[in-house]
Amino acid sequence: MRGLIFFLLLVVTSAVVKAQTRPNIILFFVDDMGWVDTSVPFGDSMVVVNKRYHTPNMQRLASEGIKFTNAYATPVCTPTRISLLTGINAAHHGVTNWTSPVKDRSTDVADDEMAPASWLVNGLSSIKGTAKTIFANTYPQLLKQAGYFTVHVGKAHWGSMGTPGSNPYNLGFMVNIAGHAAGHPQSYLAKDNFGNITGKAVAQAVPDLEEYFGSDTFLTEALTLEAIKALEAPINNKQPFYLNMAHYAIHTPIQGDKRYVQKYIDAGLDSIEANYASLIEGMDKSLGDLMNYLKEKGIEKNTVILFMSDNGGLSLVPPRGGVAHTHNLPLKSGKGSVYEGGIRVPMIVKWPGVVKANTRSDQYIIVEDFFPSILEIAGLKNYNIVQQVDGKSFVSQLKNPGYKNSSRSLVWHFPNKWQPNDGPGINYKSAIRQGDWKLIYNMRDGSKELYNLQLDVGELQNLASVERKKVDALAILLSHQLRQWKAVMPSFKTTGKIVPLPDRVQ
Ligand code: CA
């Protein structure tokens, strides 16, 4: 009898030990945060914009992990968020622009010359056959099946209202706090009930946070408190968890987080930019609170934290203060653009015992890489999914930061009109990066631009006229990929013809 009990104890103990060896995973996902919107330099040194902001907890995370200096998202929200969850490139999944909360509605702005591409305006779906959606499996579904406790907190924006993808419960999450079809909060302020005021509420009124209504709690803080509450159950049950900490910050409306605004006013920023800086610092405080909580619960060493943004910093004036398209300098342009300012974002990974502290990787990677990477971190292999994954795991890069792969190519595809006026790199563009070279294709006039990012991160010197062979080679590579993925293109109103792929234009 005693032997049997001892045997059972051994079995139980080893099961618990096994469960605990699977790491908890937190994706700390910020909305619209630019590459320089932090006091952590992602370039070789601090630049002017870095010095504006205070993100001590990002500094702490970077000092305990690895920062990626060449991490990419897509130019706007929904395409990035779907690539993240499914591992599919935006040109391939077909949700190339942000989705409206209203079903079947394209968010493309009307244009005199171009007729819109037939992109999938309803976003991601967990049910095959849902109109105007991409049907795919998500990694939270796979983590949940494997025994992870999956939590979503904050901005979702994966699908339009009335479609399955609008609800995070349909995408593999067991808890959803404040995520729905909208892409920004109606208000960050609890005194406005985050927008939930009778007669004034619109589709962007933030759901689920009633207990904070009327209080002084900023949205970023409320989401952090709720995330911590949601983690108590899996921690107590010793169940591994995945937390999708998807802040609404720092997307518009640029409202001040009054805990931090005054110091930025005192530092000389205008009121809009001081509010923007306060949104950043509030987000950073959330990161610090979560890191402290992990430590307090004794699970810091078994929790992986990935920090990422969903597109570059907004650089339109207004709603930003200052001079348009300067907010991401030395990178060119901002959100909505295929120039680096629109797509290159801050990324950090902390994985105690695996990632060496205070390291950096200059390898270029892209948001769809998170799908295979997170599954590999969780120890999942041989999963069955309906889609073909375009992302590549960056786990080996985490272990070997100096490794360089210059042959891989990354593709961006934005056959849409995001803003009424074409800003730098904004509206109707495709781009490809291979090694240090980047080619941009302008759908409206067929022109091509070529930059060497190693020598010219600001994309100031277009080398297309001197490096003709490079232009042709990258145009062929980009076209081949877009053809393979059946990427949608706009058409010309006057002729009715579809915009040709870049290898068909001289
Ligand atoms: Ca965004």
Task: Report how far ligand 1's centroid is from the alpha carbon of 501 (Å).
Answer: 27
* Sign of the alpha-carbon dihedral angle for 41, 47, 53, 56: positive
CATH topology of domain 21-399: Alkaline Phosphatase, subunit A (3.40.720)
In angstroms, the first-to-last Cα distance of the chain is: 83
Angle of helix 77-86 versus helix 370-377 axis, rounded to 10:
40
- Using CA atoms, how far residue 314 sits from 247, 250, 343, in Å, is 16, 9, 11
What are 5-21's pLDDT values in tens digits?
544 444 444 444 444 58
Task: Report how far ligand 1's centroid is from the alpha carbon of 235 (Å).
Answer: 30
Q: The sheet that has 448-452: what strands, in order across it?
A: 409-414, 429-434, 437-442, 448-452
Task: Report how far ligand 1's centroid is from the alpha carbon of 154 (Å).
Answer: 13
pLDDT for residue 2 is more than 90: no
Q: Are the C-beta atoms of 283 and 250 separated by less than 8 Å?
A: yes
Task: Report how far ligand 1's centroid is from the alpha carbon of 447 (Å).
Answer: 28
Phi, psi of 63 (to 5 degrees): -75, -20
Task: Report how far ligand 1's centroid is from the alpha carbon of 381 (Å).
Answer: 30
Give pLDDT, residue 10.
Answer: 46
Task: Report how far ligand 1's centroid is from the alpha carbon of 255 (Å).
Answer: 16
Q: Are the C-beta atoms of 335 and 75 separated by less than 8 Å?
A: yes
Task: Report how far ligand 1's centroid is from the alpha carbon of 506 (Å).
Answer: 34
Task: Report how far ligand 1's centroid is from the alpha carbon of 310 (Å).
Answer: 5
Burial of 256 (0-12, 13-18, 19+ CB in 10 A): buried
Task: Report how far ligand 1's centroid is from the alpha carbon of 380 (Å).
Answer: 29
Domain 409-504 classification at class level:
alpha beta
Task: Report how far ligand 1's centroid is from the alpha carbon of 333 (Å).
Answer: 15
Element counts in the chain: helices (H) and strands (E) = 13, 17
Rounded to an integer, the average pLDDT of 220-240 is: 98
Rounded to an integer, the average pLDDT of 222-231 is: 98
* Residue showing tokens 């390898």: 363
Give pLDDT, residue 475.
Answer: 98
Which residues place a Cβ less than 5 A from the ion ligand 1? 31-32, 77, 310-311
Q: Each residue of 229-246: b (16+ CB within 10 Å) or e? A: ebbeebbeeeebbbbbbb
This prediction has a pTM of 0.95
Domain extents in the chain:
21-399, 409-504
pLDDT for residue 54 is more than 90: yes
Task: Report how far ligand 1's centroid is from the alpha carbon of 351 (Å).
Answer: 26
What are 390-441's pLDDT values in tens digits?
999 999 999 999 999 999 999 999 999 999 999 999 999 999 999 999 999 9
pLDDT bin (cut points 50, 70, 90) of residue 457 is very high
Percent of the chain at pLDDT exceeding 90? 95
What are 85-126's pLDDT values in tens digits?
999 999 999 999 999 999 999 999 999 999 999 999 999 999
Task: Report how far ligand 1's centroid is from the alpha carbon of 74 (Å).
Answer: 9
Task: Report how far ligand 1's centroid is from the alpha carbon of 90 (Å).
Answer: 14
Task: Report how far ligand 1's centroid is from the alpha carbon of 21 (Å).
Answer: 34
pLDDT bin (cut points 50, 70, 90) of residue 506 is confident
Rounded to an integer, the average pLDDT of 469-482 is: 98
Q: Are the C-beta atoms of 490 and 415 separated by less than 8 Å?
A: yes
Burial of 420 (0-12, 13-18, 19+ CB in 10 A): exposed
Give pLDDT, residue 20.
Answer: 54
Q: Are the C-beta atoms of 424 and 335 separated by less than 8 Å?
A: no
Task: Report how far ligand 1's centroid is from the alpha carbon of 502 (Å).
Answer: 27
Q: Calculate the average pLDDT of the chain.
A: 96
pLDDT for residue 1 is more than 60: no
Task: Report how far ligand 1's centroid is from the alpha carbon of 503 (Å).
Answer: 31
Give pLDDT, residue 21.
Answer: 80
Task: Report how far ligand 1's centroid is from the alpha carbon of 250 (Å).
Answer: 9
CA distance 245 to 26: 7
Task: Report how far ligand 1's centroid is from the alpha carbon of 76 (Å).
Answer: 5
pLDDT for residue 4 is more than 80: no
What are 118-150's pLDDT values in tens digits?
999 999 999 999 999 999 999 999 999 999 999
Task: Report how far ligand 1's centroid is from the alpha carbon of 77 (Å).
Answer: 4
Task: Report how far ligand 1's centroid is from the alpha carbon of 249 (Å).
Answer: 9
Type of residue found at 410: L
SS3 456: coil
Q: Are strands 303-309 and 344-350 parallel, antiparallel or unpaired?
A: antiparallel
Q: Are the C-beta atoms of 20 and 241 separated by less than 8 Å?
A: no
Rounded to an integer, the average pLDDT of 286-301 is: 98
What are 352-393's pLDDT values in tens digits?
999 999 999 999 999 999 999 999 999 999 999 999 999 999
